[in-house]
Chains A and B, each alone.
Chain A
């Protein structure tokens, strides 16, 4: 690749550039904020772990231009496997680090329930990402690059999720009557009104009856050897290798062999081709390695802090510090302990709606499980803000920050796509991070089901998007300039 820099900007030293100063300013702001929080109470260190890991995720995502939406979309849109390869590298490394964390007893991971809802939700999510131009984490880091369109996507994801999980009325007709009976049988506290609200009925009447477990647990092999063999090798590494081979054979091999001029390749050439595919974008590969390791470390640090404070959930720490508002009826808040994106965004939307007078705490999602804490005390929420700030720091220091305002068209796509992403993420119990990246790497095969659904959704999304582009070009030939 031949990259030439424009001469004007190259002359100024990094330290003296205005954008670098802004980047340092944001960094110092985060440092000052962290110190302020610690001065209030040292136990806020638990929340700050989320902030700083978020910051690091944001920097790496921006550095590698790590777009997980393009991982599935570009396979169909333009037949480029670059990002799919990057994601697979990250999955393999996260899996290795996650195994070490699990073996050391600090794992914070909970498997997802396996069922049809994952495929359906993931397909809706996958369809949405084609129109928003990024997944949930992608939109966060692109917002950090100054892209207001992505900011709009985040707002749409936040509110659509909050509305979906609390909606009742005609929505309740979406779920079968048998789920209502099953939900009633769960004997939940009356304030949750589990028979009102389709998502409550879905959760209590359908989801809770499903089983979710890691491969090792399902096979009754929960020892160290079982974890390494079934969770890491069978559930994560083996599928990664298979997917890389498929990507190589279908997307890379032909072009590589033609370029390298090998008419009758032997195994060595094929392996060299696979290596070339993995290293074709160094930034992306490096970001994949970094993200994989950091995501595993994040689990370790949170797990160790839980051990230190003798807690299971950040809610207990909040109670001990005297903050009781917005906790669920179990005194818990959303606190996954690892990289997660969508639930905290749902909490932002839900919190604003609650402040506007709509009672959201009568839902299982907020009232029983995740709570609706003040965004200033929302630990995973700060991870999302950290991603935005981290990406802004990296983008500013690389002179890639640029305010971009949406046009009517992109704003429409952002809101519609973001809403679909929100609905899909709630049905599938997470986005491509929480329901795919964090699950498969911890030995829960439900993440691969999510990926299949997401790929299907992206396939349909690309078809619709291409059709739309042709249609809009045909409609205004004069503007197109062709």
Chain B
């Protein structure tokens, strides 16, 4: 009887713990979904990327602008371009068609070359190289 009770107590505790953990995961994911990821992040990548129609490009920074509204992508790109050396290439990942359209023109004003805009299934990758080439 005692052992049975004890095991039941254990089982209840275990269930409670599982339920608690599940709840925490649920709440966290809900919070994440509501809060969203910080729109617009720049990260160091330093990798070679095979850009269709252009060949291999060494990218030093990747600017993630998924979900960002204008003018954040533009301002963030401006900031990142100010931090890389001349001749360095950066990548901007966008899902805002209006911002994508403006990038070739933006490149000219920011003193860099628009290398390519690559269309992917749910975003665009824009490649820019600092300086005119």
Task: List 8 A–B pairs whose Cβ atoms lie within 8 Å, in order of A's numbering.
Answer: A6-B118, A62-B97, A70-B70, A78-B71, A80-B109, A132-B69, A149-B69, A255-B109
Residue A8, interface by CB 8 Å: yes
CB pair B35 A402 closer than 8 Å: no
A408 and B36: CB pair below 8 A? yes
Judged by DSSP, the binding face of A is helix
**A-B contacts, CB under 8 A, total:** 143
A395 contact from B39, B70, B78, B97, Cβ within 8 A: B97
A400–B102 contact, CB under 8 A? no
A138 and B17 CA atoms in complex are apart in Å by 49
Q: Which of B1-9, B50-58, B85-93 contacts A (4 or more CB under 8 A)?
A: B50-58
Q: List chain A residues, Cβ under 8 A from B43.
A: 481
B71 and A251 contact, CB distance less than 8 A = no
Q: A80-B109, A408-B34 are in contact. Are A133 and B75 (CB under 8 A)?
A: no
In the complex, per-residue mask of B80-118: 1 if CB is within 8 Å of any chain A CB, else 0: 000100000000000101101110111011100011111
Measured between beta carbons, the chain B residues less than 8 angstroms from A70 are: 70-71, 98, 102
> Which residues does chain B contribute within 8 Å of A413, judged by CB atoms?
69
B109 to chain A, nearest CB (A): 5
What is the distance, in angstroms, from A471's C-beta to the closest C-beta of chain B?
A: 13
Residue contact A476 to B119, C-beta cutoff 8 Å: no
Q: A481 contacts B42, CB within 8 Å?
A: yes
User: Which residues 1-54 of B have a CB within 8 angstroms of A?
Assistant: 33-39, 41-44, 51-54
Whether A78 lies near B110 (C-beta < 8 A) is yes
Let me know if A268 is at the binding interface, CB within 8 A. no
Give the distance in Å from the alpha carbon of A290 to the alpha carbon of B47 in the complex. Answer: 43
User: Which chain A residues lie closer than 8 Å to B115 at the CB level?
Assistant: 2
Which A residues touch B53, using CB under 8 A?
A: 2, 4
Partner of A78, one of B97, B101, B106, B132: B106
Q: What's the nearest-Cβ distance from chain B to residue A189, in Å?
A: 45
Scoring A residues 1 to 32 as 1 if CB is less than 8 Å from chain B, else 0, what string do you get? Answer: 11111111100000000000000000000000
Which of B37, B69, B109, B120 sits near A133, CB closer than 8 Å?
B69
Residue pair B41, A479 in contact (C-beta under 8 Å): yes
- Which of A163-171, A279-287, A353-361, A362-370 lies at the binding interface? A279-287
Distance, CA A81 to CA B108, complexed state (A): 11
Residues of the A chain whose Cβ atoms lie less than 8 Å from the Cβ of B35: 407-408
**Residues B70 and A133 in contact, CB atoms below 8 Å apart:** yes
Question: Does residue A77 face the partner (Cβ distance < 8 Å to B)?
Answer: yes
**Cross-chain contact B36 with A409 (CB below 8 angstroms):** yes
Report the separation of the CA atoms of residues A133 and B71 in the bound assembly, to the nearest whole angstrom.
7
**Per-position 1/0 for A386-424, Cβ under 8 A of B:** 000000000100011010111111100100000000000
Cβ-neighbour of B36 out of A74, A258, A406 (below 8 A) = A406
User: Contact at A6–B121, with CB atoms within 8 Å?
Assistant: yes
A180 CB–B CB distance under 8 Å: no
Report chain B residues within 8 Å CB of A77: 71, 74-75
